[in-house]
Amino acid sequence: MEIDKNKIYYSDENNGSFWRIKTLTEKTIKIERIKNINNEADDIGVDFDEITCKWDNGCQHCIKRSHDAFTIYPYRSGVPYVFIPATVDDCNSEIKSCRKWGVSDNFYQDLKKEITHRR
């Protein structure tokens, strides 16, 4: 499989966040975090809202692709961020966390519907 611009991606790093591919070309990938505007805690532990990488690694970040997933090494060092196609289980995990902390899970319920629809 290949990286799919129409899929939502999940990264366990960056506080368990969901991402959309904004641009995907032979030379570049640009991804954007899907923000939960109803939850102030959504930004805790998040380093980036948007990342642009060149596939030839001629930029500040390094990227490697693996089938339908990819890994970004921010600033070419530190903890890599692995981006995999998001699943219903990823959403269910976030929903469980929301319920544990007593916050709304509507954002993740909506994402779950979108992920299910895009399969």
Mean pLDDT of all residues in the chain?
87
**Is 68 within a domain?**
yes
- Whether residue 41 lies inside any domain: the answer is yes
- Give the predicted TM-score (pTM) of the model: 0.88
**pLDDT exceeds 80 at position 42:** no
| Residue 94 domain flag | no
CA distance 111 to 98: 14
CA dihedral 100, 106, 107, 108 (to 10 degrees): 60
pLDDT tens by residue, 43-80: 666 678 899 999 999 989 999 999 899 999 988 887 89
46 within some domain: yes
Q: What per-residue confidence (pLDDT) applies to 100?
A: 92
Q: Please report whether residue 109 resides in a domain.
A: no
Please, what's the b/e burial string for 19-43 (b: 16 or more CB within 10 A of its CB; e: otherwise)?
A: bebeebeeeebebebbebeebeebe
Residue ranges making up the domain that contains 19: 8-87
Residue 34 is assigned to a structural domain of this protein: yes
Q: How many domains is the chain partitioned into structurally?
A: 1
